[in-house]
């Protein structure tokens, strides 16, 4: 079953409050580095029931990563992201930081603002597999997603840059994928920009209707 992550890509309290009032309980929220640094307290104040995805893209030496992930436990995240380019030791350290909890690590293999490098993606995914990391963040490119599903069916795929098929506003994502296509691929999806630039309540209804 597809999990929906709503990206809180703003630090504007008014917009965050509006989102908090319309996001269903079964949707997850994704908090990026900007909001997390600017106002981490707002997460617990406004979004008390939605599972939390901390998209921090951590990348440092293993000891620092393990301590950082351990310190993130207090936010009760479902998922925290790390850069898969950090190497096996760093990935294992991230895993150790969540030992004994229900939280998971997700590996970022190719930023959605960067050109696609399929060889590098598969090389980095192999590191995730060896480190026992269950989630991978993949760019919104159908051929990449299908290729990974065929080789690594055990991995859970989360993809940002998901848009309605009729949404044409440009942003910093080099690639995007329609929500309709994402549902067909049976991947977990991240959507944020359309909810901030259009009416959030209308967009939530659209997401739910397409999922049926």
Catalytic residue ranges: 57
Are 171 and 193 spatial neighbours (Cβ–Cβ below 8 Å)?
Answer: yes
Compute the half-sphere exposure of residue 77: CA atoms within 13 Å on the CB side of its CA. Answer: 25
Q: Which residues pair with 7 in a beta bridge?
A: 30
Place of tokens 């920009």: 193
User: Any residues with CB less than 8 A from the CB of 171 and at least 6 apart, and which?
Assistant: 193
């Amino acid at each position: 079953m597809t999990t929906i992550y709503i990206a809180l890509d703003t630090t504007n309290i008014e917009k965050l409050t509006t989102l908090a009032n319309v996001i269903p309980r079964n949707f997850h929220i994704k908090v990026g580095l900007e909001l997390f640094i600017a106002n981490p307290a707002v997460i617990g104040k406004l979004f008390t029931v939605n599972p939390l995805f901390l998209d921090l893209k951590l990348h440092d030496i293993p000891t620092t990563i393990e301590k950082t992930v351990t310190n993130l436990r207090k936010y009760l995240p479902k998922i925290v992201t790390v850069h898969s380019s950090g190497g096996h030791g760093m990935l294992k350290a991230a895993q150790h930081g969540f030992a004994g909890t229900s939280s998971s690590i997700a590996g970022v293999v190719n930023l959605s603002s960067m050109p696609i490098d399929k060889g590098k993606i598969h090389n980095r995914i192999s590191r995730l597999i060896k480190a026992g990391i269950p989630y991978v963040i993949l760019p919104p490119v159908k051929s990449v997603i299908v290729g990974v599903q065929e080789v690594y069916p055990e991995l859970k795929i989360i993809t940002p840059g998901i848009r309605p098929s009729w949404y044409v506003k440009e942003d910093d994502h080099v690639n995007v994928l329609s929500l309709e296509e994402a549902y067909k691929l049976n991947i977990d999806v991240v959507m944020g920009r359309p909810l901030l630039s259009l009416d959030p309540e209308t967009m939530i209804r659209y997401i739910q209707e397409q999922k049926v």
